[in-house]
Chains A and B, each alone.
Chain A
Amino acid sequence: MKHKRIFTRETILGLIVLAFMAYLSLTTNFASRNGFFSMMLDVSPTIVGAIAMSLVIFTGNIDISAGTILGFVSYTAGELAMSGAPMVLFVPAAIVVGMLIAGLNGWISVTFRVPSIVVTLAMNMVHLGFYATFLRNSGWIENLGDNFTWFGRGMFFNLVPYIFIVSLVVAAIFIFIMRYSKFGKTLYAVGGNRQAAIYAGINPDRTVIKVYLVEGFLLGIAGLLKAMTRSDVLPSSFQGREMTFIAAAVVGGVNIMGGSGKLIGALFGALLVYMLSTAMIYMGFQDYYQFALQGVIILIAVFITVTDFKALKHNLRHAFAAREGK
């Protein structure tokens, strides 16, 4: 017996993304070369970051310091590039920095049994303070040369940015990993039923540390994709990016309580969140509407994934019945 559901949450999301694109194309100059180009440029780091965040959320954790980890990554890359290092050197170095800092979050959280959201909230502040206190000019680096920006600004056929291709390749690899590796299944197991995961021979603590390391790896890539499009780097400017990642993940159907969700959903979520904010800008709303928008999006998306609608319907029916009875 083999039947595949066609209208899964992910296909519906995909359709919404397409519909939204069509709407933007008809009502704005989104369909132009500029519109598409800036979308590909802006959405690339978000796609990779949303995937990183989703992996962490699968295990029932979260990372509020993801934004400021991007700052460390881009600073490391920028500083090395400034001293003339080629890409083969500064890219791995930056990724390793991302892994170490994110890994520290996971290590503290599991070793001392402190909820990851509190640890990473504190880390967020530690990171910001660190930039300002210990980095020259708060880590601001400007006038970076071609050795830094050539990849970020490069494009195929004068249309498709390299970084967009990178983000899609990363997404594809991780979608593959989630489906075809033991590691992928382990993440869902730890977030879905911790006790059963232990019974199945999975070490939840080690899994959580691993997932933070992988998250750090991906944040390294996301940070580079963002930083390498510009000739200057300011670490603190990445603060708040984590909210975009979380929004993309939960809009994509990743359950904030852990244990379920799909990376393809997070990919669509990243596109959708980008297009929503683009639409707002086209409609003439200021940049700062983004904060409010993200807050509302997260609330709605989480509400949809955590609410038991059958029970809700049942309760509502009762409430109405009671009212009519009086």
Chain B
Amino acid sequence: MAKQNVKRKRPLIGMSYQGALLALLVFLIVLFGLLEPVFFHPNVLFNVTAIIGEIGIMALAMTFIITTGGIDLSVGYILQLSAIVFGSVYGSSHSLAQAIAAAMLCATACGFLNGIIISKTKIPPLVTTLATMNLYRGLSMIVAGSQTYSGFPEGFKQISTINLFGIVPIQFTYFLVLFLAFALFYSKGTLGRNLKGIGFNEQVLVFSGINTKRSLLFIYTLCGFMCGLGALIYLGRLSAATTSMGNDLNLQVITAVVLGGTSIMGGIGSVAGTFIGVLIIGVLRKGFTLLNFSGNIFNFTLGVILIIALVAFALLEERKRTSQRRLKG
């Protein structure tokens, strides 16, 4: 093979894909701005970043999971269950510290349960989390009954209502900081390397002396933990824990990740892509709200976007494969 003919390694998702995503983001902002000029107001634009806090941080953990070729369908109801636990513990103890601890513990335990089942048994992640999704949903309803929890202290609400410099929503800074950390571990850390390896071929890692089960257990537990954080941020913003708050969250989170260029088949992914994906979802949600579209239209659009993203990604991969064949032949 002559040197100049060999194909150089390029990032599997090149800038072109993320560039296209950014263009889509800008296009959507302009589109909504033209339809509803108030959209261009800085307060509105920054509000977009406020409403994506919880799905953003869940999407970061989900990027790790999907990179391994897995998935977690239960994220929405882990968030719901830990929010309900928060409400219930606060309602009986009136201690913020206890309520926060209980909520985080509950979320982490849920993630840990997913992780244990996925890493210790042969039940695939899809089936595991499909089942635990129902389990956590049921548990949250059992705890809450028909109750809605609210009346949290003002001090607590500040975790999601303060604006830094008078304009930047604080939950966006949480998301930003966590994004930087996740991006670092993903692209430069041993963890990220292992996750991609698991997504491509877990056996090779086992034969390299790597405990892949531990990595899997860790990321599903981490995902649970992030759902707990999401629950607190969500509660700070909405001030009420209900048994329907987690309903459509898993779709939003998965859509953000897949749209961001993480392959549902595993191995390939991008935390930066997820970041843009989350922003796109935020813009859509805000734009739809301003245009008085219902939440159902939003969900409908998300479902369509998810399917288009999956199909587009599959087509891109196919084209890359055929072009590689041509190069080799």
Interface membership of A6, Cβ < 8 A: no
Interface presence of B216 (CB below 8 A): no
Please indicate the chain A residues that have their CB under 8 angstroms from the CB of B78 in the complex: none
Residues of A within 8 A of B300 (CB): 125-126, 128-130, 132-133
With A123-B307, A126-B303, A129-B301 known as contacts, the answer to whether A286 contacts B142 (CB < 8 A) is yes
Question: Which of B133, B248, B254, B304 has the most CB atoms of chain A within a 10 A radius of its CB?
Answer: B304
Task: Please give, as numbers and ranges, the residues of chain B lying within 8 Å of A292 by CB-CB distance.
Answer: 134-135, 137-139, 141-142
Please determine whether A291 and B302 come into contact, CB atoms closer than 8 angstroms.
no
CB pair A291 B314 closer than 8 Å? no
**Contacts A125-B299, A126-B307 known; A64 to B138 CB distance under 8 Å?**
no
Scoring B residues 226 to 268 as 1 if CB is less than 8 Å from chain A, else 0, what string do you get? 0000000000000000010000100100110010000011000
Contact with A along B43-73 (1 / 0, CB 8 A): 0000000000000000000000000000101
B residues in contact with A246, CB < 8 Å: 130
CB distance from B184 to the nearest CB of A (A): 28
Q: Are A307 and B122 in contact (CB under 8 A)?
A: yes
Q: Is residue A289 within 8 Å, beta carbon to beta carbon, of the partner chain?
A: yes
Which interface class (under 10, 10 to 19, 20 to 34, 35 or more) fits B? 35 or more
Among A132, A286, A308, the residue within 8 A (CB) of B297 is: A132
Chain A residues with a Cβ closer than 8 Å to the other chain, count: 45
Which residues A302-319 have CB closer than 8 A to chain B?
Answer: 302-303, 306-308
Least CB distance from B297 to A in Å reads 5
The interface residues of chain B lying within 8 Å CB-to-CB of A308 are: 122
- A-B pair count, CB < 8 Å, reads 140
Q: Are A129 and B122 in contact (CB under 8 A)?
A: no
CB contacts (< 8 Å) of A129 on chain B: these are 296-303
Q: Across the interface, which residues of A come within 8 angstroms of B124, CB to CB?
A: 256-257
Cα-based distance from A292 to B135 in the complex (angstroms): 4
Determine the distance from Cα of A290 to Cα of B138 in the docked complex, in whole angstroms. Answer: 7
Judging by beta carbons under 8 Å apart, are A303 and B142 in contact?
Answer: no
- Central interface residue in A62, A133, A256, A295, by most chain B CB within 10 Å: A295
Inter-chain contact B254/A302, CB cutoff 8 Å: no
Chain A residues within 8 Å of B122, by CB: 306-308
Q: Is the CB of A306 within 8 A of B297?
A: no
The answer on a CB contact under 8 Å between A122 and B123 is: no
- Cβ-based interface call for A95 (8 A): no
> Is B310 a contact of A302 with CB atoms below 8 Å?
no
Which chain B residue has the least Cβ–Cβ distance from A298?
B131
Binds B, one of A22-30, A42-50, A110-118: A110-118
Question: Is A199 at the interface (CB under 8 A from chain B)?
Answer: no
Contacts of B130 in A (CB 8 A): 64, 117, 243, 246, 298
Chain A positions near chain B (C-beta within 8 angstroms): 62, 64, 108, 112-115, 117-119, 121-133, 138, 243, 246, 256-257, 286, 288-296, 298-299, 302-303, 306-308
Closest 9 CB pairs of A and B: A129-B300, A292-B138, A132-B296, A295-B135, A291-B138, A125-B303, A126-B303, A295-B134, A288-B141
Which residues from chain B sit less than 8 Å from chain A, CB to CB?
A: 71, 73, 117, 121-124, 126-128, 130-139, 141-142, 145, 243, 248, 251, 254-255, 258, 264-265, 294, 296-304, 306-307, 310-311, 314-315, 318
